[in-house]
Structure 1
Amino acid sequence: MSFRSLTAAMTLYRSGTLDLERAAARGGVSTAKMKTALRSRGIPVREELGEALERTAG
């Protein structure tokens, strides 16, 4: 993972171009690490459809 690729992925996530999973893959990190990185920079983490469905099913 390079700092530049992570930064680019976060920018694309913030603009809505990428979802969380794709942004994490592009940034070379896990989705958990992407969430942490986004929150640490003040970027709100959007609730993804899969996560919402898991909560309602469980």
Structure 2
Amino acid sequence: MYTHGLNTAMTLYRNGTLTLSQAASRAGRSRDAFATALVRHGISVRENHVRSRTAEESLRAD
């Protein structure tokens, strides 16, 4: 069942139906874990997530 939920969330994210946060929640994963799963399955993470992560990492470095 968990795998089915992940696959469904990935499909909905890839099609633009869900945002990254919504899809991660549906899959029962954190945003970062879901983004990692997307990449492992050959699905591009939309640019806005990459930007927000970079800004987030910059804040942590300070």
Same amino acid, percent of matched pairs: 45
How far apart in 2 are the matches of 1:34 and 1:47?
A: 15
Q: TM-score, normalised to structure 1's length?
A: 0.81
| Unmatched 5+ stretches in structure 2 | none
* Structure with a larger share of its residues in helix: 2
Q: Over aligned residue pairs, what C-alpha RMSD do you find?
A: 2.2
**How many residues are treated as equivalent by the alignment?**
55
Which position in structure 1 is the counterpart of 2:12? 12
Higher relative contact order (CA 8 A, sep 6+): 1
SS in 2 for 1:17: coil
